[in-house]
Amino acid sequence: MAHPTAMSRHTPLALLLALVFVPACGPHLRWRGHATRAFSVSERCTQGPLVLDLPAAGARWGERIEVSAWSPRAVLGRAAILTSDGPPQDVPFGQTRIQSVSVSGRSESIARADDHPENARCVATPAELSSGSALPGGMVPTGAGAASPPSVPATVDTPAVRLVEPPADEVTETIRTHASLWRIAITGWATETSDPDRPPTVQPGARLRVRLWFPEPNDLDGVLFVVEHLVASPNVSDAEWSAHLRANIAQRQRNDARAQAEYHQRNERCAAHHEDEDCWGPGGYDAHVRRLREPGPQAVATVAPQPAAPQPRDPDGPPPAPRVEERPPKPSVHADWVPGFWRWSGFAWAWISGRWRVPP
């Protein structure tokens, strides 16, 4: 006869499943969609910042924001979700992108690591920078096909970058059409209430601002940014969830009280038993006191070091607004205008003027 506690191999499958999933059936929070926004940008080459404001749901138990991008190329930048709680904490994004592919009729994910954006269309090449063609005045046309320039350059005000959002009823379809591109996780934010007697961390309607920017211009042609806003709701009634949280708080308080009592009991035991090496180490209390009274190593006089030279650092915020430029005459009908941009030197932002780029 089998042991009474042993599980028979003839145990019904339904009972096995019930035993496996019992822990997941207890009170817990679920995250459900509250709102989904998607946007692209009006200008192909940009450094941002791209700013999208969301009204907080003020959900009692918590809410979360997840930001991602669907892109045909590598995109690297900085992101933050700004609330009224404090200064923004910019985090880098774009070092890894993932794409779903079909292998023998089965969907699999592949990952790619990136250390630079694919933005050749938007920045000056090393050759252009070294030759001075990225300085004010643009490129000097040479060879056949050069157009006769007008006498007065045109003043160009770099267009402000606008967010372009699809209509609300087309967001899901727009995201679906981009699902075959690379997916880039950008940033996230979450708040959760574990005390049922406290109000929500974020009040309804409070501003939650998503801000994205780029240390150098990124090529955002065909890139779709997606912002998912989720709220937390328990799988039981609010009253049952509140009781569950209060029980958890009471259990933590009992655990803390038990730990405090054990700490005090140990201190009392050690004070009464100076010979206990578990309390005082080898030799007991007297040896412990002698070790404390032993003179430490003599401080060695050192010469004060010279101040170190400033070290290059990452930018701590978005670049300034783009400058108004004078666009020189177009050197060729095939020339393509690359707008000016800010370049971080490691210490400060430097402006790189726009230029005409003539294909070979």
CA distances from 326 to 159, 254, 289 (A): 14, 72, 79
CA distances from 70 to 98, 209, 230, 232 (A): 10, 20, 19, 26
pLDDT tens, residue by residue, 57-115: 999 999 999 999 999 999 999 999 988 766 778 899 999 999 988 777 788 888 999 99
| pLDDT greater than 70 at residue 342 | yes
Count of residues making up the chain: 360
CA distance 129 to 135: 8
pLDDT at 338: 87
pLDDT at 190: 92
CA distance 357 to 354: 10
CA distances from 268 to 263, 272, 283, 288 (A): 9, 6, 19, 17
pLDDT tens, residue by residue, 254-312: 999 999 999 999 999 999 999 888 898 998 888 888 888 888 777 677 777 888 888 88
**How is residue 42 written in tokens?**
């009006």
Question: Which DSSP state fits 310?
Answer: P
CA distance 208 to 72: 28
pLDDT at 101: 82
Question: Which DSSP state fits 73?
Answer: S
pLDDT tens, residue by residue, 3-24: 444 444 444 545 444 444 444 5
Question: Which DSSP state fits 182?
Answer: E
> Which of 139-148, 232-241, 272-281, 284-293 is the least confident region?
139-148
> Which of 161-165, 302-306, 321-325 is the least confident region?
302-306
- Please give the model's pTM, rounded to 2 decimal places: 0.76
- C-beta separation of 258 from 41 below 8 A: no
pLDDT at 299: 66
| pLDDT greater than 60 at residue 141 | no
The residue that leads in pLDDT, 300 or 117, is 117
Characterise 192 by phi-psi region: left (phi > 0), alpha (psi -120 to 50), beta (else): beta
pLDDT tens, residue by residue, 28-50: 999 999 999 999 999 999 998 99
**How would residue 133 be classed by pLDDT, with cut points 50, 70 and 90?**
low
Would you say the C-alpha torsion 349, 358, 114, 94 has a positive or negative sign?
positive
Beta bridge partners, 96, equal: 113
pLDDT at 191: 92
pLDDT at 3: 45
Residues contacting residue 215 through CB under 8 Å, at least 6 positions apart? 47, 76, 77, 78, 314, 315, 319, 344
Average pLDDT, the chain: 84
pLDDT at 1: 45
Give the DSSP H or E segment for 242. helix 238-272
pLDDT at 4: 44
